[in-house]
Amino acid sequence: MHTANTNKQTVSQPYSYLKRRERSKGKGVYIILSLILISAFGPYIFRNSGVRLEHLIIYPLAVILLIRYFLNPKKATPRIYHIILTLWLLLIFWLILITYFTKETFSFFIIAEMENMIQPLALLFILGELLKELSFDEQIKFLKVAAWVIIILLALNAILSIATIFVDTWSIVHWFLRGDNFLETVWGRSLTNGRYLGIFNQPFEAGLAYSIGLLLWVYLLLRQKAGSFLLLNVGILLIAGGLLSISKVFLLGGIPAAILFAVWVLNTRRAKRLGGVFILLVIVTGLLTSFRRWVGAQYLLQLFDYKQVSKVGALSLYSGGRLNQSSFVGHLFRLVWDVSPLVGFGFGVNFALDNAYLEFFYQGGLIALTIYLGILIILGLSFFRKLASGLIEAKMALLLVALVLFAGFGAPVLTINRSSILVWVVLMTLMFLLWSAQPSQTMTQADKTAGAVGI
């Protein structure tokens, strides 16, 4: 009888083979994490120079941790982390080298684009230094803290987006955008189409952020034993915020990824809960699209209008015209291919590169594009191998990489303002905790089965 009870307890706790209740290394790690995430939603400090709150948080932290790195004994970190860090550093070095040999004059655009590449490097280093101090259980907590901070901040942003339907929020929002003239901003032009973004500068940024938020929301829903009233209400706001942005990356990437993740780890205990989530999605969508004050409802519904899709073409409609043969993105791809396919043109572009693959191809040619794709492929293969562990975090990680690959057709995912911070935090946390999950030799088949179904 005692043995049976023990086995039953083991099956219900698939992570029990890992060390539990280890003493926390201190609340400081979670405070730093929260500061980084909050700063991603922060205002511009010096608007003319483009300095945002995140710059004043991330770079000083990187310097402090770099000093500590050389003073304290170095702890083990995943080999894949060193590979990703090295490849990103190599990418920066290559782009700087190309810029040096191709640009005759120095411009502000060079500094801005270089900073877009350096910030992920600083963030990678910070996250590595924080996560290597934590046990597996603490890394799970780190991910949960990140998830809660992100979804709450996105929920607050959704409230601001909803308020924009009724009142003028420009007096608040303009602190988070560059440009004093309303119609000169992408935010302002999007508003005329009924696309409400809160503090995000453009629909893609908002859509990517809400896609990450929705995936994390499903993760929290799956990881806890019972539903939460707060979590349910946050979910309503996440869906509303994503829909109000009318971002294709949310509609065609974030929502499908979240549903697939839920179905992938589905079991009978959670079937009713997740069924309720699907009903919630339908209800929120129905209420928003039937609300007359929301002028963007017609814009949203045309994406699912068969006649409109047939008239414009699915590829053109769903990519916002980016993937047309005659589009500006297509023109730039052909320009690089014809003029400098191997090395590109370096930093200093004074126009938007609305495609992650174009960004690296234009700036660094096939060499830079290969490094970028190599980073994503290495991450994807690493997470795919971790599926054998049965951890639901491995499934979420793999879906996140797929989302980054898909979203890359709409904008530079890993370097875009604000939202890229969320992507890097979740990606790196998943990388470390999956690397830390080392099952003991005594792990039973029952444990593996229980973990595989996401109990």
> What gap in Å lies between CA 269 and CA 121, rounded to an integer?
41
How many domains does the structure of the chain reveal? 1
Cβ contact 418:154 at 8 Å:
no
Sign of CA dihedral 19, 25, 26, 31: negative
Cβ contact 379:431 at 8 Å:
yes
Residue 445 has pLDDT above 70, yes or no: no
Over the range 69-89, which residues count as b (16 or more CB within 10 Å of their CB) and which as e?
A: eeeeeeeebbebbeebbeebe
- The better pLDDT of the pair 235, 184 is held by 235
pLDDT (0 to 100) of residue 18? 41
pLDDT (0 to 100) of residue 444? 37
pLDDT-based confidence at residue 25 (cuts at 50, 70, 90): low
Position 13 in a domain: no
- The better pLDDT of the pair 425, 23 is held by 425
Among 176-180, 253-257, 292-296, 321-325, the minimum mean pLDDT is found in 321-325
Average pLDDT, integer, range 137-142: 93
80-99 residue pLDDT tens:
999 999 999 999 999 999 99
pLDDT (0 to 100) of residue 321? 62
Position 324 in a domain: yes
Position 395 in a domain: yes
Residue 1 has pLDDT above 50, yes or no: no
Among 23-27, 157-161, 381-385, 390-394, the minimum mean pLDDT is found in 23-27
Q: The tokens of 232 are what?
A: 């349910």
Position 21 in a domain: no
pLDDT-based confidence at residue 403 (cuts at 50, 70, 90): very high
38-49 residue pLDDT tens:
999 999 998 777
CB-neighbour burial class of residue 211 (10 A; exposed 0-12, middle 13-18, buried 19+): buried
Q: For the chain, how many helices (H) and strands (E)?
A: 21, 2
pLDDT-based confidence at residue 108 (cuts at 50, 70, 90): confident
Average pLDDT, integer, range 196-223: 93
pLDDT (0 to 100) of residue 10? 38
What is the secondary structure of 50-84 as a DSSP string?
TEEHHHHHHHHHHHHHHHHHHHSPPPP--HHHHHH
pLDDT (0 to 100) of residue 273? 60
Average pLDDT, integer, range 224-253: 85
Residue 345 has pLDDT above 50, yes or no: yes
Residue 452 has pLDDT above 90, yes or no: no
Residue 455 has pLDDT above 50, yes or no: no
C-alpha distances in angstroms, 34 versus 57, 142, 144, 396? 11, 10, 11, 21
pLDDT (0 to 100) of residue 437? 82
pLDDT (0 to 100) of residue 75? 72
Among 14-28, 58-72, 158-172, 259-273, the minimum mean pLDDT is found in 14-28
> What gap in Å lies between CA 408 and CA 421, rounded to an integer?
15
Residue 286 has pLDDT above 90, yes or no: no
Position 359 in a domain: yes
Among 180-194, 232-246, 251-265, 330-344, the minimum mean pLDDT is found in 180-194
Q: Which residues contact 271 (CB under 8 A, 6 or more apart)?
A: none
pLDDT-based confidence at residue 316 (cuts at 50, 70, 90): low
Range of the domain at 126: 27-436+447-452
pLDDT (0 to 100) of residue 24? 45
Position 165 in a domain: yes
Position 288 in a domain: yes
Residue 442 has pLDDT above 60, yes or no: no
Position 5 in a domain: no
pLDDT-based confidence at residue 200 (cuts at 50, 70, 90): very high
C-alpha radius of gyration, the chain, whole number: 23
pLDDT (0 to 100) of residue 180? 74
pLDDT (0 to 100) of residue 22? 42
Residue 171 has pLDDT above 80, yes or no: yes
Among 179-183, 256-260, 341-345, 367-371, the minimum mean pLDDT is found in 179-183
- The better pLDDT of the pair 7, 360 is held by 360
Q: What is the 3-state secondary structure (H, E, C) of 387-408?
A: HHHCCHHHHHHHHHHHHHHHHC
Share of the chain above pLDDT 90, in %: 50
Cβ contact 303:310 at 8 Å:
no
- The better pLDDT of the pair 307, 262 is held by 262
